[in-house]
Every structure is written in structure tokens, then in C-alpha cells.
Amino acid sequence: MVDQQTEEGSLAVDFCGIRLNNPLVLLSGCVGFGEEYTRVEGFSNRDVGAICLKGTTLEPRLGNPLHRVYETPAGMLNAIGLQNPGVDHVVRKILPTLDFSETRFFANACGATVDEYVDVVRRFDDSPVDAIELNISCPNVKAGGAAFGNDPEMSARVVEACRAVTSKPLITKLSPNQTDIAENARRCIDAGTDAFAAINTLMGMAVDVAARKPVLGNGQGGLSGPAIKPVALLKVHQVYQVCQQRGIPIIGQGGVSSGADAVEFMLAGAALVGVGTALFYDPLVCLAIADHLEQYRLQISAEGAADWVGKLGAA
Amino acid sequence: MNAPQSHRATLLSESAELLSQQAFAGDQMVMRLAASRIAERALPGQFVHVDCGQPMMLRRPLSLMRVDQKQGWVELLYKKVGAGTRLLAERQPGETVSLLGPVGNSFQLHEELSRPLLLGGGVGMPPMLFMASNLRRLKGFKPQVLLASEVPFPFTPEPSSIMIDGMPSSVIATMPLLDDWGVPARLASNQGFPGCFDGFITDLARQWLASLVADERSKVEIFACGPTPMLRAVQELAAEFDLPSQLSVEEYMACAVGGCAGCVVPIRDGDGVAMKRVCVDGPVFAGEQIIF
């Protein structure tokens, strides 16, 4: 790969007015607070366009009881429960340790109420993060625990309230666990979102037969990995139909584990491609994905990685 | 960049040639892999995150049992318990296995605690063997190893040539390799294996500790790895004799680099509780801090 520090690579892309090294984004919840994967020799934050930091709430959270992760066919379930040290700690203690010259860092804001989202976003607005992702899949405590993101009205309320307190790019992370993701996207655009991340995990369960209990301490968890890729592709494509005319970019995500997967998501309408679970199998997978994207770019004689976004013909 | 980056590039991704794979009773497997760079850096208590092969999505954390820096290999003991480890057991010599490691912190010896007591149960035996192999070269330490298994041991137990004060005379079986190293060791099981202590490893440890004079006993530090009920009993044993302990724990794991917070365990933190990651904060924790 091209040394991003001295020379902009051919895969560099614009996203909400920010220049990224390439279209790859490391996904929230998979990469801690941005420095964890640099433990692996050969891994560099420079090799990705952006890193989405772990979901952050107003107060510290211990997260869910054990077990929290479990492998399933072609994927895994997780129920971490937003373990995080709280937004003040993240802004004051963690962000100053990150090297913003290597890549872009996106915050991931969570809340149990609209007010909490607003407080967290306001705190991140006054910080060096490059963009703020709204994790609207959190349970709304004032609506009996139903996830904000599963309802267009509640999703839009979160976006609208957060829009009012930040000028940083807002990325709304859409849930696949709803009837009409496109309608939700439409409402969130009207409420002021700058971009989308699609999709969050699909809710699932695993059963421990011997114990006659769910395997996960939380009972249920989010399914990720290649198992959800076809679902994610469809959702990205559906959201793209809404975003296309409005110029709203999408971070396509859900089971991406190869360069070919990344190309598929981009053709379906993703401007950027998120990588998460695949890192657990191959920590250096982003190098291979970026190489593949570059090969694809040369193969189709494209000038940049934005050229084939949404270029999916009719069936 | 304002913070030290000492954590960077500490984990190696190594394509290791599978040198041998030996099957033992009770679905136990001992696997040796050529992984010279990991071998060079590995410390007792650390593990490797092993790619079991397609179609498994998640690697499996397996403790390092033996490490030969000169010949550049590492040896792992694992049990076929699920789809991943069953798949791993099918891998043949000559094949390549992807390893990530060495992961985690390690057991820490203290000079003044010169009588380390090493307790390994089941697939928790590996870090104790790794530690014993290092201890035999360290002057000033007088280690005592106890191993336990409820399936036949993944080696052929033999009567030990090393006498140990305070051990019941009928408890004579050891792991021959430890005898070769000159490390005193005994075996425990509830299965009535000949020469082994008939009962739990912690009961044998209790007898041995009780036999020591107070001055000697005050030099003991307990190191243990094994199933949770055993570790809980070790925690109680350490409290009973007011001894420090270091325990290696396990939990379902995804990334092994500290990224996902999937493998956490509750750890006492001042007056409160912290959920610590087994992969990078552990797997070794001070015994009294672990909340089982």
C-alpha cells in the first residue's frame, strides 16, 4: 500500500467533507477505542480510512454478564452491553492518546433517552473526533426498552435533537430489525443526518442445551459476520434508493470479509465499507481488502474508489 | 501522539507449520507448531489465538504449554470440546496453522516468594508446565507442581524419583518430563488412577502446605490454571493459608487484542467492580481480585 503519510493513495475518498485514506472503516465495538489492533504487527491505523470508536454513554457502564460472545454458523453473536468508561473519560483521557494524523476517528454515541444522546453528542462536539455516529439501536428506557432505531419516529427524534447540538458530521447507524429501513432513512435525512451506517447487527439467540439456558448472559445478542452479508447488501441497496438523490453517503457493513465483499457493498450503494467481525479471524484483513479494491479500480479503469458506488444495474 | 505506543506490534501473526499432533484419551490433543518468532517472545501464562480453519469464524485461545526457542516451536494442549477444536484436531502435519500471539500478560515470580506452588487442572496444565520449564533454570526458586485430571493424563504417569516431604507416601505418580527436569511434582484425580492422589488437587495442596513449617510456608506463592470450580477452590485455599495467588482464567473470546470486550471477567477494583478483558488485561489476575 501507498504510504499515506507522505502521499495520498489512489483509494482516498471524500466523506462528508472529510478526506479518508481509503473507503475502509473499522467498526464500532470491534476495535475498542482505536489503538487495540495496533498491537498486531503489520497492522496500521493508516491502512484504513476511519475508525469508529466503541459505543459511549454519558456515564460509565459495566456491560452485560457473561457470556458475551458466541460463534454461530458463518458468524457470531455478541451482547457486550456497551461497556465503556463514559464520555468524559473518553474525551479527556482516551482521545488525547490517539494519533489523528494516521486516520480519522469517529465517535459512537449511545443513550437510553434522547437527552442522553444529546449530552453525549454535545460532549463529542467539543472534541477532536472527525464525525459522530449515532448508535440508535440502544433500548429506549422511556418506551419500555424498545430500540430507538426500530421505529422511524423515535430514530428521527434522536437525530433531530443531536443535529441541534453539533456541526460535526452525523452518521446514523441503521438497524436491520425493523419493517421499512428506507422509510427510517428518509425520516433521519429530514431530521438532519449527514450519513448512514447500514447495518447494525441482527438480533439472535443461541441455546445451551445442557443448561437449558441461552448461551449469552444477556439472553439475546447481535448476529454479525458473513451470515448476515446478504441481508446487509439488500438493506444498503434499499437505503441507497433514498440517499442517492439527497447526496447522503452510506457506510455499508455486515459480514464484509474480503475485497470482493467490499466491491459488492460499494456497487449496492456504499460509499465506505465497514469491517468488523472479519478482523477477529484475520486482523490484517484490511490490507487484503484495500489491495483488492485497488486491483478492481485498475481493472475497471476507474479514477477513484467513488467511481463504482451505486453502479448496480437492474436485475 | 501524546501517549506511549509500547503496546504496538507486540502480537505476531505467524503462519505456523504443524509439526505433530498427538491424540490422548479424553479427546485431548497435543499439537506442536513451528512458530519461532512467537516462541522467542512467549512467557508462561500467555496464549496463542489459533485459527482452527474454515468455516470457523473465531479463533480459539490456547495456552502455551512448551516453548523451544532454539528449535523454534511451541506446543499446545487442547481438548476437543466444540466444532472449532474438533476441526483443529483434523489438521495434519505439514499443514499451516495461523497463530496470533503471544497474547496476554504472564505469571510474575517474586524473588522473596521462593517456593512457587504450581497447580494445573485439565487443559489448565499447560501454563504450569511452561512455568516449570523456566523455573528449573532459575536459581533460588524451589517449585512444587501439582497436576490434576479427570480423564487420563495426556502423558504416561510414572513413579517419581524425587521425594517430597509432606506428600502422602502413596502419592508417587508424576509427569516424567518434570522428573527429568528435576522439578518435584505429583498428580491428583478423582478417577482412582494409580499413584495419584485420590481427590481434588486443592486437597493435596492443602496437605502439602500444612506440612510446611511456618517460615517455609510464608515463602509460598500459588499459581494456578484450570476449570472455574478448581480456581475458586484455589482462591479459598490461598485465603485459608494467607498466601498470595495468581490465577489464569478463561472466557469465550473473539478478538484477543482488547478490541471487543467479549472476554471480560469481573475483577475487584477498589470498592467496586471492573470488567477486565481476559485477553489483554489477563489472563492472569491476582487471585483475591477475581469474582467467581
pLDDT tens track, chain B, 292 positions:
455 678 999 999 999 999 999 999 999 999 999 999 999 999 999 999 999 999 999 999 999 999 999 999 999 999 999 999 999 999 999 999 999 999 999 999 999 999 999 999 999 999 999 999 999 999 999 999 999 999 999 999 999 999 999 999 999 999 999 999 999 999 999 999 999 999 999 999 999 999 999 999 999 999 999 999 999 999 999 999 999 999 999 999 999 999 999 999 999 999 999 999 999 999 999 999 999 9
Three cell numbers, residue B84:
472449532
Are residues B96 and B8 part of one domain?
yes
- Quote the pLDDT of residue B112: 96
- Domain membership flag for residue B76: yes
Q: What angle do CA B190, B195, B201 make, to 5 degrees?
A: 40
- Quote the pLDDT of residue A1: 47
- Please judge whether B13 and A41 are an interchain contact, meaning their C-beta atoms are less than 8 angstroms apart: yes
- Quote the pLDDT of residue A7: 66
- Please judge whether A39 and B13 are an interchain contact, meaning their C-beta atoms are less than 8 angstroms apart: no
Beta strands in A191-242 (DSSP E): 195-198, 202-204, 207-208, 213-214, 221-224
* Closest approach of B189 to chain A, Cα-based (Å): 24
Question: Looking at the complex, does the CB of residue B264 fall below 8 Å from at least one CB of chain A?
Answer: yes
* Residues in a beta bridge with B222: B117, B245
- Quote the pLDDT of residue B89: 98
Question: Looking at the complex, does the CB of residue B12 fall below 8 Å from at least one CB of chain A?
Answer: yes
Topology at the third CATH level for domain A13-308: TIM Barrel (3.20.20)
What is the domain range of residue B186?
Answer: 115-122+130-222
Distances (CA, A) of A238 to A188, A190, A309, B79: 14, 17, 14, 46
Domain closes at, from B41, B68, B103? B103
Are residues B97 and B139 part of one domain?
no
- Please judge whether B252 and A69 are an interchain contact, meaning their C-beta atoms are less than 8 angstroms apart: yes
* Closest approach of A242 to chain B, Cα-based (Å): 32
- Quote the pLDDT of residue A142: 83
- β-strands B60-68, B47-50 pairing: antiparallel
Query: Nearest by CB to A39, which of B1, B10, B262?
Result: B10
Q: Domain residue spans in chain A?
A: 13-308
- Domain membership flag for residue B89: yes
pTM: 0.96
Best CA proximity match to A291, nearest among A315, A266, A270, A260: A260
- Domain membership flag for residue B27: yes
Report the CATH number at residue B24: 2.40.30.10
- Domain membership flag for residue B251: no
- Domain membership flag for residue B275: no
Query: How many domains does the structure of chain B reveal?
Result: 2
Question: Per 3-state DSSP, what percentage of chain B is helix, strand, and coil (rounded to 5)?
Answer: 20, 35, 45
- Please judge whether B58 and A71 are an interchain contact, meaning their C-beta atoms are less than 8 angstroms apart: yes
Q: How many CB pairs under 8 A join A and B?
A: 122
Distance CA B197, CA A81 (A): 44
Domain closes at, from B172, B188, B222? B222
SS3 A112: coil
- Please judge whether A38 and B5 are an interchain contact, meaning their C-beta atoms are less than 8 angstroms apart: yes
- Which residues of A are less than 8 Å from B263 in CB distance? 68-69
Are residues B10 and B97 part of one domain?
yes
Domain closes at, from B222, B243, B264? B222
DSSP structure string for B90-142: T--TT-EEEEEEEES------TT--EEEEEEEGGGHHHHHHHHHHHTTSTT--
- Domain membership flag for residue B268: no
B292: nearest CA partner in chain A: A66
- Quote the pLDDT of residue A215: 98
Query: Nearest by CB to B275, which of A63, A67, A70?
Result: A63
- Please judge whether B260 and A30 are an interchain contact, meaning their C-beta atoms are less than 8 angstroms apart: yes
Query: Nearest by CB to B13, which of A40, A66, A98?
Result: A40
* Closest approach of A202 to chain B, Cα-based (Å): 17
Tell me which of B57, B87, B281 to substitute to probe the interface with A (most A C-beta atoms closer than 10 Å). B57
Distance CA B109, CA B119 (A): 15
Which letter, b or e, does each residue of A253-268 get, where b requires 16 or more Cβ atoms within 10 Å of its Cβ?
bbbbbbbebbbbbbbb
Are residues B157 and B90 part of one domain?
no
Query: Nearest by CB to A225, which of B57, B259, B275?
Result: B57
pLDDT tens track, chain A, 315 positions:
444 445 688 999 999 999 999 999 999 999 999 999 999 999 999 999 999 999 999 999 999 999 999 999 999 999 999 999 999 999 999 999 999 999 999 999 999 999 999 999 999 999 999 999 999 988 888 888 789 999 999 999 999 999 999 999 999 999 999 999 999 999 999 999 999 999 999 999 999 999 999 999 999 999 999 999 999 999 999 999 999 999 999 999 999 999 999 999 999 999 999 999 999 999 999 999 999 999 999 999 999 999 999 999 998
Distance CA B8, CA A40 (A): 7
- Domain membership flag for residue B258: no
* Active-site position among A138, A188, A243, A286: A138
Interface confidence, given as ipTM, is 0.94
* Residue A138 a catalytic site member: yes
Sheet holding A221-224, edge to edge: A69-72, A75-78, A221-224, A202-204
- Which residues of A are less than 8 Å from B11 in CB distance? 39-41, 283
- Domain membership flag for residue B12: yes
Residues B39 and B74: beta-carbon distance below 8 Å: yes
